[in-house]
Copies of this chain bind each other. A is one copy, B any other.
Amino acid sequence: MTDVNARIDALERRLQDAEDRLALLQIIAAYGPAVDSGTPEATAQLWTEDGSYDTSIIEMRGRDELRAMVLGERHQGLIRGGAAHLQGIPHIDLDGDTATVTHYSQLVQRDAGTDSFRIWRTGVNQWKFVRTPEGWKATHRVNRQLDGTDPGRELLASTIDPALRED
């Protein structure tokens, strides 16, 4: 039985890792629907109560500020004009009960006066997640634009070399 139990233990650990990756993918896939539908609570619940989001333009701290962003005139005007917050495939580093997830994102807008959409923003996002009784929740998210300046490339470099990550 020792051998059987050891094999089951190993399977449980490996499966947990796979499940964590799929759960984090699901959270990243929920972000666009949450903000582009203009749903403040679903957006806020992706973060911990005091989780932060630094968009490179503003920094929101805590769920109340996240809810306020979704309900704010700027965001509501954006989605009423036609907008999509596209999130790319995630690069996931798991470390026990924390995780670092990095992906590209784009903000695409209906281009008034044409029959096309335009790409307004293209950036890289790095999230820090923590495992909670309610599942994985974000403690931090940073977005840096890929506009040729250093911060975007530095955040990308830290994706593939964890030693470069800020904590």
Which A residues are closer than 8 A to B by beta carbons?
A: 1, 4-5, 7-8, 11-12, 14-15, 17-19, 21-22, 25-26, 28-30, 32-34, 36-39, 42, 79-84, 86-92, 102-104, 106, 108, 110, 115-122, 124, 145-149, 152-154, 156-157, 159-161
Contact = CB atoms under 8 A, between A and B. Distances in A.
Contacts of A88: 29, 32, 86-87, 89
A153 B37 contact: yes
Copies in the complex: 3
A148 B30 contact: no
B117 A116 contact: no
Contacts of A116: 118-120
A123 to B, nearest CB: 8
Q: Please indicate which of the listed interface residues A22, A82, A89, A161 has the most CB atoms of chain B within 10 Å of its own CB.
A: A89
